[in-house]
Structure 1
Amino acid sequence: MNRYADDLSLTHILADAADSISMARFRALDLHVEAKPDLTPVSDADTTVEKAVRATLARSRPRDAVTGEEFGAGNASANGRRWVIDPIDGTKNFIRGVPIWATLIALLDGDEPVVGMVSAPALGRRWWAGKDLGAYAGRHPAGAQTLKVSGVSQLADASFCYASLPAWEADGRLPAMLDLMRDSWRSRAYGDFYGHMLVAEGAVDVMVEPELSMWDLAALIPIVTEAGGAFTNLAGGSAAGGGSAVATNGRLHAEILDRLSTRERTWSELT
């Protein structure tokens, strides 16, 4: 039996608990929202979901470490395993009533993400994967769809997805991004976890983001790679620790990395 099969099954239990909390607070008139020190929003749903996931992990995997967006990292584990939680990826969507948000749950064994769960209950869909277990999507494991990336090999035929353009402007790669958009068959900014999951499904061929945290990325990596895709940072290295993200069907990966390697100096750097 695969060593991560039980962990992958556990993520469905964690996602069930998260979904019941988040959906009860989605579009709630009394939803409480505050600004974190970095001025990004956090709702009472974010904190309640993370507490619930942490509580279950404390009972089910007491030897494993846990890192979450809202409550940070605890003690290091003796076994090298760490769960990474983003209780609601897409909080800005969540608080505005847009249904594109999800709970992200990952397991890292050492520095490698080996299990990933993305649960988007307002969309009625989940995506999950485990190392050497494949990648799947559906409402639940029964009747799940096996995921496979697209076979598109030319940028002119590709559907290109990206994060907001101001973020690329701040990164100094906006000219390269605009050239990629012009040269692609279609470009859209689906945002957050969703573009990466569309890559895993084969509906989109490329998804790029310039700045992300570990909890934004860790759950996405096994799903894209187990579906046959490639997932790196902009330098072509591991994205597991956070930073930038380039997810593709694999066939387009080298070209995307090469074309995004051109970076202009930003205004703050020039001044």
Structure 2
Amino acid sequence: MQEPSQLQIELMTVAHELADAARPIALRYFRKSAQGLENKLSDGFDPVTLADREIEQAMRDILTVQRPDDGILGEEFPDIPSKSGLTWVLDPIDGTRGFISGTPTWGVLIAINDGDAPVFGIVDQPFTGERYCGGFGTALLRHAGREMPLETRQTTTLSESVIFTTFPEVGSTQEGDAFHAVAEQCKLTRYGMDCYAYALLAAGQVDLVIEAGLNAYDIQGPLAVIAAAGGIVTDWQGGDAQHGGRVIAAANATIHAQALEILARY
């Protein structure tokens, strides 16, 4: 395996600095009654908290100093165009519904995109202290002062697979039907894990995550981590998933192909 370049080491160092800055802010608000909750929608429920905005602002402040020529694509504030060819893709709290409900299934998502694809990603869970990292020749979990390698499973049949999605309805009726057609072939189906499901896939605990209606900042961090761990992330047609939409993450190409065959019927 090729050693990371000096630039890659610098980028990874900054990415970890962003995650380190996010943790105490998130924990200051998590499981507290006064979370500064707002609803982004007038005819639905899309929550945002003070933690979302404070975390993203803290990460942007670091990037302004450390990587002033890089672009930023984040959930809460306007995009900053890149001058260097690199863009930081930030989701300060992925899984805000879980965050406000007290479940430790949310996370801080960070990705570095080189203009073609996300090349390094972090899925950080501040409450459990887990940090899943992948890219530049690394795929590892940092937890409790240890580093452990990440590697996806080699399950070969859907009948032995564990599948996740966040919402049981997935998206539209058609998208829900497509997901459930795959899930019916799997051994176990679980819901409501947000970005933590992608982390578990990278860690070799589950085999498939299928979702719809994602944004770029929802998937780029997990995509980089899963790819580094040996998995595959595409859209439902097998194409590029970095811009979001309908996404399938699979532990390996064999399971990916079996699931895509079913999704294609819808």
Same fold (TM over 0.5): yes
Q: Give, in whole Å, the separation in 1 of the partners of 2:77 and 2:230.
A: 33
Shift of 1:244: 1.7
Partner of 1:114: 119
The answer (yes or no) to whether the contact 2:167–2:192 under 8 Å persists in 1 is no
The answer (yes or no) to whether the contact 2:111–2:220 under 8 Å persists in 1 is yes
Partner of 2:66: 60
* Cα-to-partner distance string for 1:149-176 (whole Å, 9 max, x where unaligned): 00110111111112312234x1513333
Q: Give, in whole Å, the separation in 2 of the partners of 1:262 and 1:56.
A: 46
Partner of 1:127: 132
Q: Give, in whole Å, the separation in 1 of the partners of 2:120 and 2:63.
A: 14
Partner of 2:244: 242
* Cα-to-partner distance string for 1:236-264 (whole Å, 9 max, x where unaligned): 1111112121111122111111111122x
Say which is worse superposed, 3-12 or 87-96, in terms of deviation.
3-12
Partner of 2:170: 167
Alignment-mate amino acid for residue 130 of structure 2 = R
Alpha carbons of structure 1 residues 171 and 116: separation in structure 2 relative to 1, 3 Å: farther
Alignment-mate amino acid for residue 216 of structure 2 = M
Q: Give, in whole Å, the separation in 2 of the partners of 1:171 and 1:194.
A: 25
Give the 5 Å matches for 1:96-245: 96-131=101-136, 133-139=137-143, 143-168=146-171, 170-245=172-247
Partner of 2:57: 51
Alignment-mate amino acid for residue 202 of structure 1 = G
Alignment-mate amino acid for residue 31 of structure 2 = R
Give the secondary structure class of the aligned counterpart of 1:148. coil
Give the secondary structure class of the aligned counterpart of 1:208. strand
Matched residue pairs, number?
259
The answer (yes or no) to whether the contact 2:106–2:193 under 8 Å persists in 1 is no
TM-score, normalisation: structure 1: 0.91
**Structure 2, unpaired ranges of 5+:** none
Q: Give, in whole Å, the separation in 2 of the partners of 1:175 and 1:166.
A: 8
Q: Give, in whole Å, the separation in 1 of the partners of 2:82 and 2:181.
A: 45
Shift of 1:210: 1.3
**Structure 1, unpaired ranges of 5+:** 264-271
Give the 5 Å matches for 1:73-88: 73-74=79-80, 76-88=81-93
Give the secondary structure class of the aligned counterpart of 1:219. helix
The answer (yes or no) to whether the contact 1:161–1:208 under 8 Å persists in 2 is yes
Say which is worse superposed, 59-68 or 34-43, in terms of deviation.
34-43
Alignment-mate amino acid for residue 64 of structure 1 = D
Instruction: From 20, 23, 28, give the equivalent of 1:16.
Output: 20
Give the 5 Å matches for 1:231-270: 231-250=233-252, 251-263=254-266
Give the secondary structure class of the aligned counterpart of 2:127. helix
Alignment-mate amino acid for residue 68 of structure 2 = P
| Structure 1 stretches of at least 4 aligned residues deviating more than 6 Å after TM superposition | none
Shift of 1:190: 4.2
1:36 aligns with 2:40: yes
Give the secondary structure class of the aligned counterpart of 1:114. strand
Shift of 1:123: 2.0
Q: Percent identity?
A: 32
Partner of 1:267: none
The answer (yes or no) to whether the contact 1:221–1:231 under 8 Å persists in 2 is yes
